[in-house]
A and B are shown apart, each in its own frame.
Chain A
Amino acid sequence: MSMDTLKATFFAECEELVEAMTEGLSQIATDDWDSETVNAIFRAVHSIKGAAGAFGFEKLVEFAHKFETVLDRIRNNELAIDADVLRIITRASDVLAELVELAQVDPNETPAAYDPVLSELANHADSGETAASSDDLFAPVAFAPLALVIEESVAEFTVEFEPSAAFYRNGHEPERIFASLGDAVQVTCDTSRIPDLAELDPDQSYLAWSIEVHGKTRTEIEKAFEYVDGLASIEFIEKEEPAEIEPPKAVEKPAPPPAPKAAAPRPASTQTLRIDPERVDRLINTVGELIINQAVIAQKIAAGDRSPDTEVASALDDYRYLAREIQEAVMSIRAQPVKSLFQRMARVVREAGEATGKAVQFETIGETTEIDKTLIERLADPLTHMLRNAVDHGLEAPDARAQTEKPQTGTVTLSAAHRSGHVVIEVADDGAGLNRKRILEKAVQKGLVPSDAVLSDSEIDNLLFMPGFSTADQVTNLSGRGVGMDVVKTSITSIGGRVSISSEPSKGSVFTILLPLTLAVLDGIVISVAEETMVVPIANIMETIRPESDDVLELTPSNWVLKVRGSYVPIIPLAPLLGLGRTAPNTGPFILVEAENASVFAFAVNEIYDQRQIVIKSLEGNYGAIPGISAATILGDGQIALILDPDALIALAARESASKPRCVQEA
């Protein structure tokens, strides 16, 4: 095992410890804590310090040490947690978390807040610091006090050694000490003090030894007795130059027998198994292939000449059922609560609050919601951006907020929940809500929409996601950075999710992310467009419709609608949209989909087949992104089918129809 492996272990462990620390702090912040909470934080910081020392991460050790000292004072009720102390330890935990991250790259690197927070900690660490100064921390091996001896000569020694009862009770054995002195040892045992059997107490010590040692220095001999100092009377007599004689030491009084165990051990924590994520990925992929394989067999049997054998059919059903079961089980291996992600986000919100000078309260809901680990990782960036936005642009500036009825402290809420096979993550603020007038102005100014465009509220809100749109008048240091919500949208879309906005003036805004439970598979309906087989994700589908012919109405040659229960839904013929054919099969069948802004469209397709679960294969690795297509999958017959991205298709259709009239005008 190499140092690198150890470091990997260390950083993995630090991640958990930081999580535990953050968890404890959030309990303190919500006033839901007890002494064990502080103990847990202390232990986390302490463990980080202990192992960091082994790698020589001095900055980390120095900081953790100071932090730990303050926590120790809290633990010992020497320091009460008031708002100020809470703020300091919260900042300290942020710095510590950052130090851990930095240490992976450059252990000498420190975050900007390092020195100020360290000195704040020092102010509160005062009387707490007793024994360990940070100088001690790097003593390579600090055994019991042991003088460094320079130039020492070998001599003949006699050691008079009389152990106390505690010597034996502490796991020491005279023979072991003698053995460690080497072969040139002559031991004489004094048994004169052994009492009569009747009076003999087996726990008492009655023996004494006289040990003659040859060819050793005094230091070497002392080392053998290093740990028994105080547990025995040890007297050194140097034969040749008996000048320096160790004063005899008092035999330590045996300690009282140990009290019965007071602390009732808590039940062992949940057993965990650490698995290399790659193995799980392999398992997930293989299970995906297994499901495809089931589909292949089903298809082959269905295509066979023989009339379907009922036994085979039911065995095949079992196969499908089992494959799904395995898949669910495998998926759950990789599922993780969003808690750690949310805790990281708490840091983001705090920093954003500090950077903007806004008082922010961060609330989380549904921390235990489990989602695929890979999704959690890929949510970090978009969520960071959204939360910074919520603080920076969502919440009012302090003076503007003061003029409202709302509390001075703004609230940003991050929540997660499972909803019908999806994960819903929401970022909400109680700020001023979107300024739709400004958004529209800006979009017009940037040429994103024509100046005479009449847009619904939700259409305006969605302009935020258009590439090149940025709401801040001046790009702020915080959420500016040249990226807009379009980047957030792109990253959410790339993990198969959707993001939408709802906003109410002076009440605030909510950004909702809808995610699949996993990245690897999705449920979809297999369709054909022109001659091509494609898949529409079930998540986007409201229903499929095979209409009566008089339900399809032509408004203009390029503008058709479908009558659905009394209302008219615009038809988007997919074949011409995807450049697969000029003739628009406007007669259906149709797939009704709901766009992000809740408006409904009818996709005209050629054929609608069955619903099935498919394994997602990215197109981007070998090819690149295609407008309107999110990925591909491999069907039972080995053919590739493209997976449609309904939202992108709707946007594509909107762009096409918007560009057409203009072309006419120009012509």
Chain B
Amino acid sequence: MTETTSAKESLSEFVSLTAGGQGFCVDIHTIREIRSWTPVTMLPFSEPAVLGVMNLRGAVIPIVDLRERLGLGPTPEGRRNVIVIVTVSNRTMGLLVEAVSEIISVSSDAILPNPTQSVETQPAHIVGLISQEDRMLRVLDITGLLPADREDAA
């Protein structure tokens, strides 16, 4: 009994999603909701991954193309494309992904460190790996995905 309890305590929940054909997952606590794609308003001088801003019940939130952000090229238009609304450090943004699949629970020991963290093409956004059945899910660090604070702001 005691064992079960302690195992439960170290369980983390993630939402698995697909971007650029690859499997990723995001800590469920950072996710506010999942919405279908709606046209966005373009922002001047933004990095290519920032698609624009969207009206989320009166709030203006930026939408980031996750695939582009990870250096995998722009997400092609697709019927299953959805926007995952996430909030980290008091900032809210939407991530455009190809699909959202499921909620998974894993114990913290099942999250392996990312051995390729030094590889340039995929920098610090991936903070861990989860082996799920026959595939590998990359654990995303959302904080690193926020649009960079613009220098011009200061």
Contact = CB atoms under 8 A, between A and B. Distances in A.
Any A–B CB pair closer than 8 Å: yes
Interface of A: 289, 490, 532-533, 578-580, 617-629, 632, 634, 638-642
Question: Which of A532, A617, A640: most chain B Cβ within 10 A?
Answer: A640
Interface string B13-44: 00000000000000000000000000111111
A19 to B, nearest CB: 34
A580 B42 contact: yes
A4 B115 CA distance: 52
B60 A618 contact: yes
A638 B150 CA distance: 26
A12 B58 CA distance: 33
B62 interface: yes
Interface string B135-154: 00000000000011110111
B79 interface: no
Contacts of B59: 617, 622
Contacts of A625: 150, 152-153
B45 A579 contact: yes
A328 B20 CA distance: 51
A620 B43 CA distance: 13
Given A622-B92, A624-B153, A642 B43 contact: yes
Contact of A621 (B54, B91, B154): B91
A634 B152 contact: no
B53 A619 contact: yes
Contacts of A623: 43, 50, 53, 60-62, 93, 147
Given A622-B62, A623-B93, A624-B148, 13 more contacts: A617-B60, A619-B53, A620-B153, A622-B60, A623-B53, A623-B147, A624-B149, A626-B45, A626-B152, A639-B39, A640-B40, A640-B41, A642-B41
B21 to A, nearest CB: 28
A622 B44 contact: no
Size class of the B contact interface (CB-based, 8 Å): 20 to 34
Given A622-B93, A625-B153, A634 B55 contact: yes
B116 interface: no
Contacts of B60: 617-619, 622-623, 632, 634, 640
B53 A632 contact: yes
Contacts of A629: 43-44
B44 A638 contact: no
Nearest to A292: B58
Contacts of B152: 625-627
Question: Which of B43, B44, B50: most chain A Cβ within 10 A?
Answer: B44
A621 B43 CA distance: 15
B46 interface: yes
B135 to A, nearest CB: 32
A621 B92 CA distance: 8
A628 B50 CA distance: 17
Contacts of A626: 43-46, 150, 152
Given A617-B59, A625-B152, A626-B150, A579 B41 contact: no
A627 B45 contact: yes
Contacts of B44: 578-580, 626-629, 642
Given A623-B62, A625-B153, A626-B150, A639 B46 contact: no
Contacts of B150: 624-626
Contacts of B90: 621
Question: Which of B50, B53, B59: most chain A Cβ within 10 A?
Answer: B53
Contact of B42 (A532, A624, A627): A532
Contacts of B55: 634, 638-640
Contacts of B153: 620, 624-625
A641 B41 contact: yes
Interface in B83-126: 90-93
12 contacts: A490-B154, A619-B43, A619-B53, A622-B59, A622-B62, A622-B91, A622-B92, A623-B53, A626-B43, A626-B46, A634-B55, A641-B41
B61 A622 contact: yes
A624 B61 CA distance: 11
Given A622-B60, A622-B92, A640-B54, A632 B41 contact: yes
Contacts of B61: 622-623
A663 B108 CA distance: 55
